[in-house]
Amino acid sequence: MLTITPDVAVLARFGRALADPIRCRLLLALREAPAHPSDLAERIGVSRTRLSNHLACLRDCGLVVAVPDGRRTRYELADERLGHALDDLRTAVVAVETDRTTCPDADAEACCR
């Protein structure tokens, strides 16, 4: 059963998804077009097992959906507006002090390439 999630929970789910570089790359790939897991694994350069775990996380976060496609499953963004949000986040200017390392994810630059 699908439910509508409140604003703060949506942001928390989006943040959880973006906390991992592989999930960032998956979301960006799905922003371009729906895809099958084997194609996604090859495209972002990870094993299918690892990809499967990340797709499960993105499904749990409510950001992607699995769509039956004959004998296969295709994945796509749950809402096309997520693609626009990803574009907005990628082009946002962030103020980062290079000499500070208080952020728990100091290697944030590795995300979403």
Q: What is the CATH number of the domain that holds 40?
A: 1.10.10.10
Q: Residue 19: inside a domain, yes or no?
A: yes
Residue 67 has a pLDDT of 96
81: containing domain: 7-103
Tell whether 108 is covered by a domain. Answer: no
Provide block-wise average pLDDT over 10 residues at a time, the chain (113 residues): 69 88 96 96 95 95 94 95 91 75 55 40
Let me know if residue 67 belongs to a domain.
yes
> Alpha-carbon distance 85 to 100, whole Å?
27
Residue 31 covered by a domain: yes
Q: Give the total number of structural domains in the chain.
A: 1
With vertex at residue 18, the alpha carbon angle to CA 111 and CA 7, rounded to the nearest 5 degrees, is 150
The number of helix segments (H) and strand segments (E) in the chain equals: 5, 2
What pLDDT shows up at residue 45? 95
In a domain, 62, yes or no: yes
Distance, in Å, from the CA atom of 25 to the CA atom of 43, rounded to the nearest integer, reads 9
For the chain, give the longest Cα–Cα distance. Answer: 52
Q: What is the reported pLDDT for 11?
A: 84
Q: Is residue 91 part of a domain?
A: yes
pLDDT at 110 (0 to 100): 45
Write out the DSSP string of 52-73: HHHHHHHHHTTSEEEEEETTEE
The vertex-28 CA angle with 77 and 7, nearest 5°, equals 55
